[in-house]
Each structure stands twice: as C-alpha cells, then as structure tokens.
Chain A
C-alpha cells in the first residue's frame, strides 16, 4: 500500500501546482479572450470604427498617439493619487473620530451621507469657480469621491471593538486613547485596506469626471477632445489606459494590505501558517 499512497500524494501535489498555475494565468487568459471575441465580432458583423473600433485599431491608435496618451495619463495619475492620499489622511482622521465618539457619529453622519449622495459631477463647476479649471478641481473631485468609503470602514472597525475587551482594558486604567491605539486602530486596518481598494478605483472616476468637464490635460480631457473629432479609437485607447492604471493602483493597495494585515485572512492562503489539528 505504501508506494501507491506516496504516488497518490505526489499526484495530489502535482494537481495543486497545476491549479495554482491556472489561477495565476486565468486573468490574462480572460483578458486575451475578451479582446479576441471583440476583434472577431467587429470583423464578422462589419461594425464601423466610429461605432466600435476593433482592438487592433485601438492598438494602432495607441501606438500613433503614445506621446499625448502618456503625458495625459501621467497628469491623471498625479491628480488621482494626490486626491486619493488626501482622502486617506482625511478619511482616517474622520473615521477614527466617528468610530470612537457616539457624539461625533450622531452629529456628522447624516451630513456625510447627504454629502456623499450629491453627484460629484455637479460639484465640479463650483470647484472650477473657486480654483479655476485644471489641476485642483480634478484633485478635489478625486478626494471627495474617495474619502467616504474610507471613513465608513475605519469607523466601523473602531466602533466594533468587543465590549469584553474594552472592559478588560478600561478596568486596567486604559484611556479611550489607549484603547483606540492598542485595539481600535489595528483592528480597523483590514477594513481600512478593503476601503482603499474601492477608494483608489473611484478616485480615478472622480479625476476623470473633472477632466471631462473642465481641464486642459488628463485622460478625461484627451477623450473629450478625441470624441469631438470623432476619433473613437483614441477614446477607447484612453479608456483602456485608465483601466490599466486602475488595476495597477489596485494591485499596489492589495500588496500593501497583504504585507500589513495578513493576520486578518487567518493564514488561509498560506499553508506554512497552518498548524494542522
């Protein structure tokens, strides 16, 4: 029985390796597949490039316009990241305040929700009046759209500290500040990073909205100019560049999350951490 048991263990390990390889390759396969279907559909049904350009046409446009695409993507990335970082700082502070004080929560929450319900595209003209078209309205729109999920998540993490643990620490003479520093903040970190993944992607939405309304540069501006010239392949090229930037920033957020709050996933993805039995 021994040799066959060893063989089957090896086969199981091999199957697990194959599965992991498949998991890593899958996103690329899906993306490649989508572009293939898209290309085939456009050719098969003879769709005009100004309705839906084929991926090959978009790629051609990307190569041709790589310089403006790159410089405008850079401008968008800059405004988005600055707005996002503002949102992280502000969101953390406000989240801690709301999560640790019922008074602040009761006082501010309705206003925050009202504020978050306002479509940000309606705020851009006001920002333009205040700051002029261009850089600042884009930064601030990215900020306004992305701070809310951060606030809500950080506040939730802090407000849901187990009452028994709070009692243990309070009985030892811990101040509210001690409890937040030792328990509340570390506890809210998984929530915080989960919100960063949402926040960074919506930050792009914010800055691009602002750029399409009032700006002299940025991917949003480029797409607006391209569509006014009926250069639909370039519009799509802008969309794809935006998507790539979003995925890249998301990946950065996930990497930081895995490095700092691995405990929150309880080592399920890491067999080295499992104790077994």
Chain B
C-alpha cells in the first residue's frame, strides 16, 4: 500500500500554555488518498481541534501532521472546509460566495481576472451538482438552511481541494434535509473523489457516508477504535433500515458509551 495521504502521528494539542486544557493526546491516524473517513466521539473530544491541526491553522503541541508527503507547517490550501454554520457572506450572491476561495487561494487568485468565465462555469457546475441550479444570483438569506449548507459545500469544493474537512456540516439541519444532503455529499464525493474527513456526532451519518469510522475518546481525545463499513456505493437511504447497517451503528454506539463511562469513572474521586 502506498503512503497514506493524510498521516497524523502521536499528535497532542494543549491550549493556553503548560497548564492549559489538553484537547488531544497521542492521536494517530492514517487516511488513504480518496478515502472517506468519519470521526465520531462524545462532545468536547477535540474533533474540531483535529480539523484545525490538519488544515494547518494551529501547530500541534506534540507530534506531526503529514499531508501528501509533506509536514503541515502553515495554512493548507489544498484543503477545503465546511462547518455547521454555513458562514456565507450576506452581501454576496450565492455564486460570488462560492467563488470567494478563488479570490484568495493561489494560483487561482492570479488568474481569476483573466479566466473569470471558465471559473464561473466551474462554480455553476458545482452548484448544479448540489441541486442549486437557478439560485446563483440569490442572496444567502433568501435560501433555507439546507440550501445554504449546500452552497457552503460548494465553496469548500470550488478550488478542487484534494482534502475535504467537514466539521459537523449537517448538525444544525432537520432530519429530512440532513438525509438529502448525505446523498448530495455522496454524489460530490463520487464525482470528485477527494479525501474526506467528516467530523460528526451522528452515528448513522458516519456509517452511511464513510469507508471507515474512527471513534475518539473524551478529552483528552485520541482514536480508540475504528470500524470499516463494507457497503458498496452508491448507497441508498433504504440501507439505513437494514439489520446489518443498524448492527454497525449499535456496535459504535456501545463503544462510545464505554468511552464515556471510562471518563466518568476516572473523574470520580
């Protein structure tokens, strides 16, 4: 097997100096190129910290993060990010919001003026892929939460990132919208095949979308277990009602409960 695309090795992260909170400790994980990995865990386990370490926003206190054979030492522009909050800019149309990364990241930034037409076609194609055709000229506040999240996904993808980091992107949506967006994300992944790390606390979501589910312990977080998901793609929502699928969800649920109990036991005097 080739060297993993994303390699996290013995990473620890402590906030606020030596006495600060230890958010991650001894975290190691490998993700192959084009793989879809979900990270689940109890809240406050440092999942979001992991995101920021991988994208180079913060340097780890200990250990190394390697992406595409190079140690991450600063902002990582081959990554795209989306969060629970779509954070679209209200004064920009949907199309202009999606184009925002192209105004920032090189080499697109240099070429944007000359190749505006082709970049715009690219952004429109993405919007079509997530089902937002016809909404390009609308403003974010004219769209529902689910549609805003679709646009946010397009913004994360517009510079063709090889690594897609998603931090609970569907956490604030209702169940039906969320399930729609699972399929949108699946289609996007099948079409573009980026490496995806999806942070979530929805076990069903994790199993439905990923090749592999990683379970994190409570703070200080580290990976305590992993589970491969065998189902071929494209997967359909009916799958989530099958016994085998639900058995995997249950198994993960039990492991997380164990992790939480272990923490409560160690917290007790």
Contact = CB atoms under 8 A, between A and B. Distances in A.
B142 A173 contact: no
Q: How large is the interface on B (under 10, 10 to 19, 20 to 34, 35 or more residues)?
A: 20 to 34
Nearest to B167: A164
B44 interface: no
A267 B139 CA distance: 10
Given A178-B104, A266-B141, A267-B141, A172 B75 contact: yes
Given A186-B91, A264-B90, A174 B104 contact: yes
B3 interface: no
Contacts of A183: 89
Contacts of A173: 75, 77, 104-106
Contacts of A274: 142
A37 B107 CA distance: 70
Q: How large is the interface on A (under 10, 10 to 19, 20 to 34, 35 or more residues)?
A: 20 to 34
B141 A171 contact: no
A275 B90 CA distance: 15
B76 A171 contact: yes
B151 to A, nearest CB: 13
Given A164-B87, A186-B89, A263-B90, A169 B104 contact: yes
A262 B209 CA distance: 40
A258 interface: no
B35 to A, nearest CB: 20
A34 B41 CA distance: 66
A182 B100 contact: yes
Given A186-B91, A263-B90, A266-B90, A171 B77 contact: yes
Interface of A: 162, 164-165, 167-174, 178, 182-183, 186-187, 189, 261, 263-264, 266-267, 273-275
16 contacts: A162-B87, A167-B81, A168-B81, A168-B83, A168-B155, A169-B100, A171-B75, A171-B77, A178-B104, A182-B100, A182-B104, A189-B91, A264-B90, A264-B91, A267-B139, A267-B142
